[in-house]
């Protein structure tokens, strides 16, 4: 009997030990589970705070670009370093986070009129910080190969026709008018219009909303796509910046002037009825403005923007001494032309005419004088054409598409204008992003 009790006691002892072991294992598992839960919760919180800090930094970049746009609209481009240009320089709160922003003007050698900025934004949540940096640049009207306020001249539609070719950014604050096919007009760059339609020559009474071709009649080739309903870009009414700088460090003439550019980096000019002044240096700051009309031709070696309160008339080839900027990567010349009236190709200009540069007609057009009289050859533009109202350089037959008068267009984009525009060319009030990174 005693041995039976003894055996029972032994079994109870074993059972108690087993229970203790199970409890120990459960406690160990519980501790591990709690530890892992706390660790995972900490990881989740760190991820959440990192995400919030990154979002705050990104919001700071957006706020800074909006502030820069507001300054550009007012004609102000900040210099030096600006820290938190809001809240009296204090950090900006954003829910449970905040951001600090530093905006630095990046000065580039040889490009004093290029407005480029480094924006550094640090988002903070508690002790968690993340920093983003973005490089932006003010966009310039010279960034376009083609820009118009409207695609009409004197109330009449002006058309892109067969064999027209544009290989850079194209924009109108209205809508485009398109004629022809086989081949149709080719747009090798991005194209945008504020209106929601294209007017096709063979379907003029039936406007096709958001339709980019009119088979089988009018079939253009938009190689980089087409954007309807784009944001309007406002053209300036005057060449104020050019005019101001021409009067301070440049050339300012108070009578109609003739200018011939020389390939050795000089220029000849004649003001009113005065004698010719030959082999004169280009203006030191690259700004020339005439209160009156300007006649322009020749070969430019350097950087120059020439403007007039009246019309600018091009009488002969206007080219760069360093060659065609599209085919010669070493080209370092840049020409801007700004007219507060029209930019006009003289009726006696060469049959085949070359123009290197960006032309801007603020009021109102770029056109060929007497464009309905006589056939000409090819008009080769290497740069851009910006105009308030689209002017004609020739006419065509609506039934055959054949040219009747004027020039055939050969317009190629000078991509250097994105980073190296001519001096004092007007900006659009917007900015483009050049680079973005976390630091």
250-298, pLDDT tens digit by residue?
999 999 999 999 999 999 999 999 999 999 999 999 999 999 999 999 9
- Which two three-digit tokens encode residue 321? 């001494």
What is the residue-wise DSSP string for 308-375? ESS-EEEEEEEEETT--TTT-TT---EEEEEESS-EEE-TTS-SSEEEEEEEEESSS-EEETTTTSSE
Q: From 310, 431, 325, 311, select the one nearest 384 (Cα to Cα).
A: 325
- Which two three-digit tokens encode residue 287? 């700004």
The number of beta carbons lying within 10 Å of the beta carbon of residue 179 is: 23
Whole-angstrom Cα distance, residue 117 to residue 122? 16
Taking only the tens place, the pLDDT of each residue in 370-411 is 999 999 999 999 999 999 999 999 999 988 889 999 999 989
Whole-angstrom Cα distance, residue 12 to residue 29? 25
Q: Quick one: what percent of the chain has pLDDT higher than 90?
A: 77
Instruction: Identify any residues that bridge with 366 across adjacent strands, giving them in sequence order.
Output: 343
CB 263 within 8 A of CB 299: yes
Helix (H, G, I), strand (E, B) or coil at 67: helix
Taking only the tens place, the pLDDT of each residue in 143-186 is 999 999 999 999 999 999 988 899 999 999 999 999 999 889 99
Question: Which long-range contacts (C-beta less than 8 Å, at least 24 apart) are formed by 371-374?
Answer: 371/395, 371/405, 371/406, 372/404, 372/405, 372/406, 373/347, 373/405, 374/405, 374/406
Which residues, in sequence order, are CB contacts of 113 under 8 Å at separation 6+?
A: 421, 423, 424, 425
CB 163 within 8 A of CB 408: yes
User: DSSP label at 91?
Assistant: P
Taking only the tens place, the pLDDT of each residue in 58-94 is 999 999 999 999 998 887 899 999 999 998 899 999 9
CA atoms within 13 A on the CB side of 324: 9
The number of beta carbons lying within 10 Å of the beta carbon of residue 163 is: 16
Whole-angstrom Cα distance, residue 190 to residue 192? 7
Higher pLDDT: 209 or 296? It is: 296
């Amino acid at each position: 009997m005693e041995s039976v009790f003894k055996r029972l006691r032994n079994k109870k002892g074993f059972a108690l030990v087993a229970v203790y072991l199970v409890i120990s294992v459960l406690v160990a598992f519980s501790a591990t589970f709690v530890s892992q839960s706390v660790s995972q919760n900490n990881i989740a919180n760190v991820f959440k705070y990192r995400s919030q800090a990154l979002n705050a930094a990104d919001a700071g970049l957006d706020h800074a670009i909006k502030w820069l746009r507001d300054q550009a609209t007012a004609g102000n481009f900040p210099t030096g370093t600006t820290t938190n240009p809001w809240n009296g320089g204090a950090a900006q709160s954003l829910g449970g986070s905040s951001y600090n922003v530093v905006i630095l003007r990046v000065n580039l050698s040889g490009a004093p009129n290029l407005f480029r900025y480094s924006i550094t934004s640090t988002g903070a949540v508690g002790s968690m910080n993340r920093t983003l940096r973005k490089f932006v640049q003010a966009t310039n009207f010279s960034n376009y190969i083609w820009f118009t306020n409207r695609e009409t001249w004197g109330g009449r539609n002006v058309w892109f026709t067969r064999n027209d070719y544009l290989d850079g950014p194209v924009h109108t604050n209205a809508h485009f008018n398109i004629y022809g096919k086989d081949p149709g007009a080719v747009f090798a760059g991005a194209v945008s219009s504020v209106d929601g339609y294209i007017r096709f020559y063979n379907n003029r009474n039936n406007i096709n909303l958001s339709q980019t071709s009119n088979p089988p009649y009018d079939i253009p080739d938009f190689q980089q796509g087409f954007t309807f309903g784009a944001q309007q870009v406002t053209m300036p009414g005057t060449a104020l910046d050019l005019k101001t700088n021409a009067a301070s460090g440049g050339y300012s003439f108070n009578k109609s002037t003739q200018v011939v550019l020389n390939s050795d980096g000089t220029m000849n000019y004649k003001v009113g009825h005065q004698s010719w002044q030959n082999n004169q240096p280009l203006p030191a700051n690259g700004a020339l403005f005439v209160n009156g009309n300007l006649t322009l031709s020749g070969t430019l070696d350097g950087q120059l923007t020439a403007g007039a309160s009246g019309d600018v008339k091009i009488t002969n080839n206007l080219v760069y001494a360093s060659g065609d900027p599209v085919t010669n990567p070493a080209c370092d010349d840049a020409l801007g032309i700004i007219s507060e009236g029209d930019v006009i190709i003289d009726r006696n200009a060469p049959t085949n005419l070359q123009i290197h540069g960006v032309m801007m007609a603020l009021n109102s057009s770029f056109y060929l004088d007497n464009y309905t009289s006589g056939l000409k050859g090819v008009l080769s533009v290497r740069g851009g054409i910006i105009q308030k109202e689209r002017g004609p350089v020739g006419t065509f037959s609506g039934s055959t598409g054949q040219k009747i008068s004027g020039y055939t267009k050969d317009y190629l984009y000078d991509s250097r204008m994105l980073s190296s525009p001519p001096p004092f060319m007007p900006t659009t009030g917007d900015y483009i992003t050049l680079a973005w990174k976390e630091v």
